[in-house]
Amino acid sequence: MRPPFIVPAIGLALSGCSKTPLPSGPHVEPSAQSALSSSTVMAGEAPSPIDSAPPNLPDGCWTGMNADAAAENLLTALAERCAPGMRPIEPGPKRVELGAAEASELMVSVDDSRRCLRALAAGGPGVLELELELVDSRDRLLGHDELEAPFALVGARGPVCADGPGEHRARVRVRRGRGSVAFGIFRPEAPASGP
């Protein structure tokens, strides 16, 4: 297990998959053998998710991803598979060009901590491996990615919930390679208001 990286604050979207094997390299195969260790670190006691929180996903939501796609296309495909029923908090993904060991962040305002999050990031051609963290408004680590792939997700065992509203950040860093990176933070649709 890699330790989470330390960089200035960055924001991304969170959601979750359960007990999903980790891919090993830029081409993700369904037969990946790596075991997933706990990727969600909860700071204090988090509020219960609301009824609209998405269920845990089947194993391997990211298996078979086309890792050679453009960053935004890969992010869209990853969100469809690993964040169903969720929408990005920001209108579109943040797009950056990063070299090896370079990082970026996205900050979003979370107003309802019961709507748990999933952070997703995807690298375009030339990006071999990404790292991703989700940090709460008090700079506490909520979760970090453990995939060794040109895409990353936080909340691989289920949605990650903050213990309160505030400014949350997703931090993405290129571990190997260089190129375009797209990332965002996702949360469940707002529940329909009653009559």
The H or E element containing residue 76 is: helix 71-82
**pLDDT recorded at residue 44:** 37
Residue spans per domain, the chain? 71-188
Q: For residue 170, which of 159, 190, 157, 154 has the smallest C-alpha distance? A: 154
**pLDDT recorded at residue 175:** 97
**pLDDT recorded at residue 156:** 77
Low-confidence ranges of the chain (pLDDT < 50): 1-58, 192, 194-195
Give residue 179's region: left, alpha or beta (phi > 0; psi -120 to 50). left
Asked: is 71-188 a CATH 2.60.120.380 domain? The reply is yes
pLDDT digit string (tens) for 24-51? 333 333 323 232 332 333 233 343 443 3
- Collapsing DSSP to helix, strand or coil, 135 comes out as strand
| Length of the chain in terms of residues written | 195
